Homo-oligomer: A and B are copies of this chain.
Amino acid sequence: MISILRLGHRLKRDERLSTHVGLVARALGADEIIYSGERDEGILESIRKTTKNWGGSFKVRYEESWKAVIKKYKKKRFKIVHATMYGEPVKKVMPKIRKEKDILVLVGSSKVPGQIYMISDYNVAVTSQPHSEVAALAVFLHEYFKGKEKGFKKAKLKIIPQKKGKKVIEN
């Protein structure tokens, strides 16, 4: 199982980026996302609506304390993976991470508490350059699944890939 924990969401300011983090988590194959930071029902609704329309069983919820989430998942024997530009290269550590049964991927926002680096089993960098938590999560999941794309069951809307133009089937 792959769970994502979005750290430190701030209302308004992070709205679109946090939404993108959730959509990427779903589209690239994670099983659920937990938002911490400021409670934002709009984002939860938006992700749920996407799953309703586009299928699959992706779950989303809010939890106030990221510490409690990490504690709970450690107890369930999840390995903690922290996406950070300061970590080890994704290509280097991925073979080890792929062997773990369950992982909780921490996706930071502006400032991540120092202790996160210590309590994580893996600190993983997608390039050692500043860019985007949305991008880091996407590349991480893309690498994890070796580029294999997931199918989404019970979809109301489904895209048929086209060389030119758009084709969407409604069920």
Q: Does A132 contact B138, Cβ atoms closer than 8 Å?
A: yes
Q: Does A165 contact B86, Cβ atoms closer than 8 Å?
A: yes
Q: How many residues of A contact B (CB 8 A)?
A: 53
Q: For A166, give the chain B residue with the smallest CB separation.
A: B86
Binary per-residue interface labels of chain A (11-49) against chain B in the complex, 1 for a CB within 8 Å, 0 otherwise: 000001100100110111000000000000000000000
Q: Does A164 contact B132, Cβ atoms closer than 8 Å?
A: no
Q: Does A127 contact B149, Cβ atoms closer than 8 Å?
A: yes
Across-interface contacts of A165 in B (CB, < 8 A): 86, 114, 117-118
The CA of A88 and the CA of B160, in the complex, are separated in Å by 9
Q: Does B16 contact A131, Cβ atoms closer than 8 Å?
A: no
Q: For window 91-141 of chain A, which residues contact chain B by CB distance below 8 Å?
A: 91, 114, 117-118, 120, 123, 125-132, 134-139
Selected contact of A167 from candidates B86, B90, B162, B166, CB within 8 Å: B86
The CA of A17 and the CA of B152, in the complex, are separated in Å by 26
Instruction: Say yes or no for A73: interface residue by CB 8 A criterion.
Output: no
Given known A117-B165, A143-B147, contact A131–B23 (CB-CB < 8 A) = yes
Instruction: Say yes or no for A62: interface residue by CB 8 A criterion.
Output: no
Q: Does A54 contact B130, Cβ atoms closer than 8 Å?
A: yes
Q: Does B161 contact A89, Cβ atoms closer than 8 Å?
A: yes
Nearest Cβ on chain B to A169's Cβ, whole angstroms: 11
The CA of A162 and the CA of B120, in the complex, are separated in Å by 12
Nearest Cβ on chain B to A47's Cβ, whole angstroms: 10
Instruction: Say yes or no for A75: interface residue by CB 8 A criterion.
Output: no
Q: Does B54 contact A163, Cβ atoms closer than 8 Å?
A: no
Selected contact of A129 from candidates B27, B129, B131, CB within 8 Å: B27
